[in-house]
Amino acid sequence: MHQSAHSYEAVIGLEVHAQLLTKSKAYSPDPHAYGGRPNAHVSPLALGHPGTLPIPNKRHFELAAMMGMAIGATLHQTTMFARKNYFYADLPKGYQITQDKTPLCTGGEVMIKDATGQDKPIGITRIHIEEDAGKSMHDIDPFNSLVDLNRAGIPLIEIVTEPDMRHPQEAYNYLIEIRKIVRYLEICDGNMEEGSLRCDANVSVRKKGSTRFGTKVEVKNMNSISNVRKAIEHEIERQIDLLEGGGQVEADTRGFDAATGRTHSQRSKEAANDYRYFPEPDIPPVVLDDMFLEAVKRSMPPMHWELHKKFTESYGLSEYDAAGIAAEKHFALYFEKLAALCPDRKAAANWMMGPIKGYLNETAIEIQDFPLDVNTLAEVIDLVGQGKLSFAVANQRLFPALLQEPQASPTLLAAKLNLIQERSDDYLLGLVRQVVANNPAKAQEYRAGKKGILGMFMGQIMKLSQGKADPKRTSQLLEEELDN
Amino acid sequence: MIMVVNEELVDKLAHLAKLEFTPEQKADMMADFQKILDFVGKLEELDVEGVEPLIHLTSHSASLRPDVPHVTITHEEALKNSPLADSDYFKVPKVLAKH
């Protein structure tokens, strides 16, 4: 990097395409499904046959509207389609049906953390509805490109930001947030590696303090969120080096090569594209009535920022626990059900963040497949709360036993496994006396002032009781015994 | 103001349409384009001050389709009319030079 790099700032805007989880395509009923044979999910429209007419998919609008509502955008109830014209083999119609001057949503913002961890709103310019193109493969056949049109016509939204980001880390944080939002809404699976979420970055640099934008370069082909950060880092460096070397940045589209970590030009100047947008004559304006919008609003799940706020403000959870639980929707919703049954929310949160998360990670399953019902877990938490079971025993003995027998009653199973904590003084005192009698030298050391040795005695007592001795009462009795 | 068709415009459109013209064809195209534009240019004589542009010929709004998947043509039918295909894919001339 050039020495004077620190006198520049980067200006970054992102365009994110998300494939929406509909059952059929955007303008024709061919299935939107994964893993089919190539060219099996097609229709005359997807193939660009003459005489076909597009009919928009209602679900496409519902899912796109959910995204708009989630980020506080303005939803336009009358919205039109446009044709974006270009010739490429994976777009047999010769145009993409998209939206140009009348996007479904404008405005709104997405709250992210900036590079120093402070809250920063990123303005959203627009969200519009469009369709995906097919897939071309250039590496399989030596003489031809192969075309698969299963993806042609899959419903997309494109989310365009204002040029509000100043650091590659902000672009990274923005994408993490967008992925979280689409997954909360369950409108897109958010998988960048598989291309269901894609990102292009517009990057320019300027001298700090300047209010004019530099010439921007569009960077494409980044198939992971980390690669977006890497590509932007590289592109900023490249532009600064150019400017510092007395050169100029040229408006360009550049592809990112993950293997080299570099970007390279994809479009020569003479090939500059002109998409000649014009209104799509085959689809009249779409008018969304109030009932439609009300229904979409009612179908909105609670968003992670709402849950996070509830967890910290109403439940008194730490920032760390609230963020950890709210990170994934179904995990958060399981916790919500659990919290409704457990007055001790902190204990419920500890179970979520500790044993449950651990189990899900170990077994690589989702919370939806977690075998224990919230009622079962609430009963375990209650047993610990009542002091019938220590957390350690509950976690290490009862929890694994319940996972083997998910239908069992925790109270009965704990009794059957002989785990219920002993609190009777007779029992506890017996253990205390036994352990003190077995360690006369240590007892002497304690009495001589080495108080720390208490832990050794407690450890022995817990071992003898197989973890069932109530630690609080035991330690009282132990101190009394030793002080005598 | 009626647009004047020059060689540069025809070259640009040819590029966008992925077509190649011989010099004779290009001259024909220029003449034809100019005729078409002159014909449509007649409309420029109208006074449209205060008239909203007509974008769609119908006053109806679009009806939306329920999201129900439906197979209209099979894989075999899809590939049947292609000039070049294998059992899975359409085949087209290589479209992107490998970087």
Q: Report yes or no: A291 at the B interface, CB cutoff 8 Å.
A: no
Q: Does A278 touch chain B (CB under 8 A)?
A: no
Confidence at residue A271, expressed as pLDDT on a 0 to 100 scale: 57
Question: Residues A90, A133: contact at Cβ < 8 Å?
Answer: yes
Report the pLDDT value the prediction gives residue A484, as an integer from 0 to 100.
74
Q: Which has the closest alpha carbon to B86: A151, A153, A94, A137?
A: A137
B79-94 residue pLDDT tens:
998 999 999 999 998 8
- Tell me, what's the pLDDT at A355? 96
- Collect all residues from B whose CB is shorter than 8 A from any CB in A: 12, 15-18, 55-56, 58, 60-75, 78-79, 84, 86, 88-96, 98-99
The residue in chain B having the minimum alpha-carbon distance to the alpha carbon of residue A283 is B62
Q: Which of A219-233, A353-367, A405-419, A454-468 has the lowest mean pLDDT?
A: A454-468
Q: State mean pLDDT over A458-471.
A: 84
Q: What is the mean pLDDT of residues A461-474?
A: 83
Q: Are strands A252-257 and A217-220 parallel, antiparallel or unpaired?
A: parallel
Partner-chain residue, chosen from A23, A141, A273, that has the shortest CB–CB distance to B67: A23
Helix (H, G, I), strand (E, B) or coil at A446: helix
Contact A241, A2 (CB under 8 A): yes
Residue B65: its pLDDT value, please? 96
Tally: H helices and E strands in chain B: 3, 1
- Closest CA relative to residue A374, chosen from A342, A396, A327, A401: A342
Our CA-based measurement puts residue A9 at a distance from the nearest CA of chain B, in whole angstroms, of 30
- Which H/E stretch holds residue A254? strand A252-257
At B99 the pLDDT is 37
- Position A91 scores a pLDDT of 93
Q: Residue A381: how many CB atoms within 10 A of its CB?
A: 23
In order of start, what are the domains of chain A with their CATH numbers?
A: 3-291 (no CATH), 425-483 (1.10.10.410)
The amino acid occupying position A267 is R
CA distance A481 to B92: 90
- Tokens 């197979």 belong to B71
Q: Which of A253-267, A288-302, B24-38 has the lowest mean pLDDT?
A: A253-267
For residue B38, give the CATH number of its domain.
1.10.20.60
pLDDT > 50? residue B98: no
Which residues constitute the domain of residue B26? Answer: 7-44
Largest interatomic CA distance in chain B: 58
Does residue B20 belong to any structural domain of this protein? yes
pLDDT at A272 over 70: no
Residues of chain B positioned with their CB less than 8 A from the CB of A289: none
Instruction: Give the tens place of pLDDT for each residue, A397-447.
Output: 999 999 999 999 999 999 888 888 777 788 888 888 888 889 888 888 888
Residue B35 lies in a domain: yes
Q: What is the mean pLDDT of chain A?
A: 92
Please report the pLDDT score of residue A2 as a whole number. 58
pLDDT exceeds cutoff 90 at A187: yes
What is the predicted pLDDT for the residue at A268?
A: 55
Answer yes or no: is B26 within a domain: yes
Check residue B1 and give its pLDDT: 59
Closest CA relative to residue A30, chosen from A152, A126, A130 = A152
Residue A430, pLDDT score: 87
Tell me, what amino acid is at A363? T
The predicted complex's ipTM stands at: 0.88
Q: How many structural domains is chain B composed of?
A: 1
Question: What letter would DSSP give residue A37?
Answer: P
- Rounded to whole angstroms, how far apart are CA atoms A12 and A209? 16
SS3 state of residue A111: strand
Query: What is the secondary structure of A406-451 as a DSSP string?
Result: TTS-HHHHHHHTT-SPB--HHHHHHHHHHHHHH-HHHHHHHHTT-G
> Which residue of B60, B75, B92 is in closest CB contact with A89?
B92
Residue B75 resides in a domain: no
| Residue A23 CA: distances (Å) to CA of A34, A463, B13 | 11, 58, 38
Please choose, from the candidates A481, A465, A381, the residue with its C-alpha nearest in 3D space to the C-alpha of residue A424.
A465
Joined together, the tokens standing for residue B38 give 């002159």
Question: Is residue B37 domain-resident?
Answer: yes
